[in-house]
Amino acid sequence: MLIRVTPERLNPEEAIEAVRRDEAGAVDVFLGIVRNTNKGRAVDHLVYDAYPSMAEKTMREVAEEALERFDLTDSAVLHRTGRLEIGETSLLVAVSAGHRAATFEAGHWLVNEVKRRVPVWKKEVWADGEEWIEGPESLGMERAPATMRGS
């Protein structure tokens, strides 16, 4: 199980090789990529902050939970930190299984859970300013609805 939080570029080939097995007929790989816009606003770049040790621990818990919930042979979760330019890969999730349906379901579930649970934060930087994007997919947002938020 390949789990990593790193400021280095993420390599999809590495994740594929990490989950590939002779008994697994299907591999699904998801790449989260830095978009050039968000909510209609031009993004210049992103900066990812993380609590690296807890992020890796949480990613490992989510990946292990996926192995149990779905009929997977292996999974890999990698998240990049630091400054990322448009088009670069921030998140890489790969899963392998005997058959394809499990890989698509597990991949989607894993990406959702990573975004909900893993302590990583994204700052959007525009030409004229910047802002930390917090929630709304995280665990915290389930406890505090939007109308109750502090700021």
Partner 1 sequence: MVITVLFFASLADAVGTRELSLAHMPGDTVASVRDRLIAAHPQVSEFTETLLYAVDEEYADEDAPVPAGATLALIPPVSGG
Where along the sequence are the contacts to partner 1 (CB under 8 A)?
A: 32, 48-51, 53-55, 57, 79, 90-91, 111, 114-123, 132-141, 143-144, 148-151
Q: Which residue, 25 or 82, has its beta carbon nearer to a second copy?
A: 25
103 binds, among partner 1, a second copy, none (CB under 5 to 8 A by kind): a second copy
Q: Which residue, 19 or 84, has its beta carbon nearer to partner 1?
A: 84
Stretch that binds a second copy, among 13-21, 60-68, 125-133, 139-147 (CB under 8 A): 13-21
Residues 6+ apart with CB under 8 A from 132: 121, 122, 123
Helix (H) or strand (E) holding 14: helix 12-19
Q: Does 36 bind a second copy (CB under 8 A)?
A: yes
Q: Does 133 bind a second copy (CB under 8 A)?
A: no
**Amino acid identity for residue 62 in this structure:** V
Token pair for residue 32? Answer: 């989260």
What minimum distance in Å lies between the beta carbon of 148 and a second copy?
A: 26
Strand pairing of 89-97 and 26-33?
A: antiparallel
Token pair for residue 25? Answer: 């007929």
DSSP string, 28-74: EEEEEE--SEETTEE--EEEEEE-HHHHHHHHHHHHHHHHHHTTEEE
Stretch that binds a second copy, among 17-25, 51-59, 125-133, 138-146 (CB under 8 A): 17-25
Q: Which residue, 131 or 137, has its beta carbon nearer to a second copy?
A: 137
Dihedral of the alpha carbons of 113, 116, 119, 120, in degrees to the nearest 10: 90
User: Which residues sit at the interface with a second copy, rule CB under 8 A?
Assistant: 12-13, 16, 20, 22-37, 86-87, 96, 98, 100-101, 103-104, 107-108, 111
